Structures are given as structure tokens and as C-alpha cells.
Amino acid sequence: MKLLFHVSFLGTAYCGYQVQPNGVTVQQKLNEATKSLFGYECDIIGCSRTDSGVHANQFCATVSKKGSSTLETTIPTERIPQAISPYLPEDISVFRAEAVDEGFHPRYDVKYKEYIYQIWNRSERNPFLFDRSWHYPKAISEDAVSKMNEAAAQFVGTHDFASYMASDSKIRDTVRTVYEAEVTRRGDMLIFRVSADGFLYNMVRILTGTLIAVAEGKIGPEDIAAITAAKDRRLAGITVPAHGLFLNRVVY
């Protein structure tokens, strides 16, 4: 048996998901918790990497005994989330565990992932949303939201998204298929939702920054196709802060 963990976490205190030598990560905490629960070291493979400060409503990772493709435990699968909870910090939760085939891969078997980016659009800060949204104090009108959605619609489809990738990224295959991209308003919160078969480094944060440039009138919705075709990072918008970004859903 191999387990698939469904995990949620607040990324504020972590240097992203993947283990690294220069800081505490979510994977490190999962490694420590599974060793305490099962009594041996485990191999934990995540569905993706996340940047420092990025959050997850749903992150998926497989768990197996280190050096093996299976896991040995007498704990019923449905009770594992409750059993592992005491070994995890309060900002990480395994909210579901399920058995999967030994050949299942949490990254390669993904059909699509969905991210959301939260923008608190009010002149005053909201302390209860600190590090959970980007505070953008300049008012964004409903007309501007409509233009943002016109622009977002241009992201949908299979395109080379090199213009929306961090300039220092080493990724060579920059073609991705975006299935949905839209901006909605809930009171003072703007939410950019985007789903795709894969994402480039900083892609969602740059797409969001490009939509903000549309709202500011610096870029028109009609400019998006040319920006995409140019494959030039300098033409797109800013890279917005990490703390407004959530991995929202992983679909297999």
C-alpha cells in the first residue's frame, strides 16, 4: 500500500514545500511527522513545489516507506489524518489520506491544478488577512474587473507562457494549457482563479501582475496575445507577492 496525503498549510513560516538546506519547509515537517507516527523514515513526494510564503488549500503527496514503494502500518487509512495531527505544527494539516496504487505518481498523474490569488482591494489593511492576501489599496472599478476578465480569457488555451515565467528560470518547455482563468469580486476581495495542466516558475504571480496592469490601464486586454507571442518577460506585469497565492485544488 502507498498513501496519498491531502494536505493544507499556511506557508508563511516556510521556505516553500520542498526540503532545502537554508530553511524550514513543509516537506521537512511531514517527514518528521510520518517518522514519529509510523516509526520509520518515509519517502514523501509532493505534487509540485511551492515558493516561500505560498499557501495550499489542497496539496497532495504520496507516502511510502523509505526505499520501498509501499507503506507498512496497522492504522486504518481513514484514521491517519487524526493520528498524525499531534506530530504536525498547527499551520499544517493532513485532512485526508487514501490508498493508491504503487505506480501512482502525485506529480505526473495530475490532470490539472487550480490556483487562486487573493487581492484585498480596500484603502485600509485587514489585519485578519495579513499574509493571506495582497493588499492593493487603489480602488479597482467594476469596469476594470471586466477588462481584467477580458484579458484573463486570452490566457485560456495552449500557449507558450515564457512571457509569464521568472526570468531566471531554467525551464525549457514553456508550453502549458490553461483551462480556466477568471477574476471575481467578493466584497473587497478580488480573487483570480486559474487552472492548467502545469505552471511555470512564478507564472500565476506574473499573470496576476499582468491583470493588475490591465486594471491600471498600462496594458489593454487586446495586448495580451502580443505579449504572450513575444515570449519576453519584460512585456508582462510585475511579479506580485507570494503571500496572496494558494494552491487551491489538485485533480487526478
Torsion of CA 110, 246, 79, 68, to 10 degrees: 50
Nearest to 202 by CA among 10, 49, 36, 21: 49
pLDDT band at 199; cut points 50, 70, 90: very high
Question: Is the confidence at residue 83, as pLDDT, over 90?
Answer: yes
According to the model, what pLDDT value does residue 97 have?
Answer: 98
Give the residue numbers marked as catalytic: 51
Residue 64, SS3 per DSSP: strand
Strand 55-65 to strand 245-251: parallel, antiparallel, or no bridges (unpaired)? Answer: parallel
Mean pLDDT of 4-28: 95
According to the model, what pLDDT value does residue 1 have?
Answer: 86
Range 171-188 burial, b when 16+ CB lie within 10 A, else e:
eeebebebeebebeeeeb
Residue 219, SS3 per DSSP: coil
Record the pTM: 0.95
pLDDT band at 15; cut points 50, 70, 90: very high
- Rounded Cα distance between 168 and 189, Å, is 31
- Rounded Cα distance between 182 and 11, Å, is 24
Q: Which residues pair with 184 in a beta bridge?
A: 191
According to the model, what pLDDT value does residue 6 have?
Answer: 98
Q: What percent of the chain has pLDDT over 90?
A: 96
Q: Are 236 and 227 in contact (CB under 8 A)?
A: yes
Question: Is the confidence at residue 178, as pLDDT, over 90?
Answer: yes
Q: List, for residues 48-77, the tens digit of each pLDDT value.
A: 999 999 999 999 999 999 999 899 999 999
Nine-digit cell string for 248? 487551491
Mean pLDDT of 131-149: 98
pLDDT band at 195; cut points 50, 70, 90: very high
According to the model, what pLDDT value does residue 22 have?
Answer: 86
Nearest to 210 by CA among 195, 196, 197, 192: 192
Q: List, for residues 141-154, the tens digit of each pLDDT value.
A: 999 999 999 999 99
Range 121-130 burial, b when 16+ CB lie within 10 A, else e:
beeeeeeebe
Strand 92-100 to strand 189-196: parallel, antiparallel, or no bridges (unpaired)? Answer: unpaired
- Rounded Cα distance between 120 and 97, Å, is 33
- Rounded Cα distance between 194 and 179, Å, is 8
Mean pLDDT of the chain: 97
